[in-house]
Chain A
Amino acid sequence: MAVPILKQGPFLIASIQSALTDTDVLQLRDDVMAQVTRHRSRGIIVDVTSLDVMDSFVSRSLQGIARMTRLRGAETVIVGIQPEVAFAMVQLGMSFEDVQTALDLEEGLALLGA
C-alpha cells in the first residue's frame, strides 16, 4: 500500500498506515524525494505510529531517506516510534544516530519549528 504524503506549508507529512513491503518503502523514498524537489520543502515528518514492528530494511531505508533529504536541504523527523519498537531497534543496533526523532506528529512539527 502506497504511503500518502501530505503537504503542510513548508513541510511534508508521510503517515504510514500499515505494515510496509520492501517495494512500498522504496516507493516512499522516491515519492518523498520527488515531492521535496517539487515543493521545495524544509522538513519532512514520517509518522510510524501504526507500525508495531520495524525490520532492519525499513529502519535502514528511513535512515536513508533522512540522509538524502538533508542533502536537499530538508530535515527529516521520524515520529511515533512505539516503546516496543524502540527497544527492539536498539537491540538490533539501529539507533538512528543521525536522524531526528520525536514522540508524535505535534512534537515533530514543533521540532521543525512550525
Chain B
Amino acid sequence: MAEATEARDDLLRELVAHLRDNRTELRQEWARRIGEAQLLTALTEEEIFSEATSVYDNYVEVLETGSVEALRGYARNLSERIIPRGVETDEVLGIVLLLRDVLSRSLFKKYPDDFNRVLDVYEPAANRIANTVAINFVTERERVIRQQQEAIRELSTPVLQVRERLLILPIIGVLDGQRARQLTEQLLRGIRTNRARVVVIDITGVPAIDSTVANHLVQTVDASRLMGASVIITGLSSEIAQTLVTLGVDLSKVNAVGDLQGGIEEAERLLGYTVISGTAPEKTEDRT
C-alpha cells in the first residue's frame, strides 16, 4: 500500500517535472489550439498568452501540491477581469479542457506504455482543476448578475419631488410582483419624507401589465390615500387599458390622466397651483 503511494508520488513528480521542462512548447501549443478553436476572441493574442501562462503555472502547481486554493483565487480574479469583456462560460471551460488535452497528449507521448498509471495520477487532478475554474467562473458571473439586478432595481424606481407636496414616480421597464411591491414601499416612504399630498405615477415606460401588477397598483393607490396623498396614474397605453378592462380589474378608484403633462397639470389643480406664463426674461432685465 505504502509502496503504491510512493510509486504514485514518484510518477507525479516526474510528470510535473516533464510539464515544467516543456513549459514553453506546451504553452505555445495550447495558445495555438485556443486560437484555432476560436475561443476567447474577446481577448488579444498577447492577453491570451499571458493568461495561458498563469493558468499553466497554476495548473502544474495544482498537480504538484494537490491544493486548489491558489488556483481558486486566480480563477476568481481571472473571471472578474474577463467577464466584463464578454467571455462566455463555454469558452472558459473550453480552454481548460484544451489544456488538459494538450498536456495529456504530451504525457502519453512520453509514457507510451504507462497509460493507466499516468491516467490514475493525472486525471483526478485535471478534473478537479476543470471543476474549480468552471465553478469559480460561474459563481463570479452570478455575483455580477445579482449585483446588476440590484443596481437596476435601485435605479429604476426614483421618487422625485416636482413641486412642494407633489411627487412623481416614473416607472420604466417590466413590472413584476416583487418590483411593484418595492415600488409601493418606496413611494409610501417618499410620501412621508416629502409630506406629499399628490403623487403622479407615470407608467408610459411599462410595456405590459398583468392582473397581479394591476391589483398592486390599485393597492398602491389605496395605501397612498391612507397616508393622505391622492394618486394620479398617467401614461396608461391603449394596450394596457384594454388589458385592464378585459381582465376586469376594478379601476373605479383610480384617477387616470392621459399623459404625464396632463397628470402634473391635474396635480397642480388639486394642490391649488395656477401656472401663469411670466414675462420674458429680457424684459425683466430692462426693468432693473
Contacts and interface: CB of A to CB of B under 8 A. Distances in A.
25 contacts: A78-B226, A82-B192, A83-B188, A83-B189, A83-B191, A83-B223, A84-B188, A86-B188, A86-B223, A87-B219, A90-B219, A90-B222, A90-B223, A90-B226, A91-B219, A95-B222, A96-B226, A97-B253, A101-B225, A101-B226, A102-B228, A103-B192, A103-B228, A107-B195, A107-B228
Contacts of B219: 87, 90-91
Nearest to B190: A83
A111 B191 CA distance: 17
Interface residues of B, number: 20
B11 to A, nearest CB: 67
B226 A81 contact: yes
A86 B195 contact: no
Contact of B227 (A91, A103, A111): A103
Given A83-B188, A83-B189, A89 B226 contact: yes
A14 interface: no
Interface in B206-265: 219-220, 222-229, 253
B228 A89 contact: no
Interface in A39-91: 78-79, 81-87, 89-91
A89 B223 contact: yes
A36 B195 CA distance: 29
Given A86-B188, A87-B188, A103 B229 contact: yes
B76 interface: no
Interface of A: 78-79, 81-87, 89-91, 95-97, 101-104, 107-108, 111
Nearest to A83: B188
B282 to A, nearest CB: 40
A96 B222 CA distance: 8
A96 to B, nearest CB: 6
B107 to A, nearest CB: 65
Contact of A87 (B184, B196, B228, B253): B184
B201 to A, nearest CB: 15
A81 B192 CA distance: 10
A97 B188 CA distance: 18
> Most chain-B CB neighbours within 10 Å: which of A87, A89, A107?
A87
B226 A95 contact: yes
A84 B187 CA distance: 11
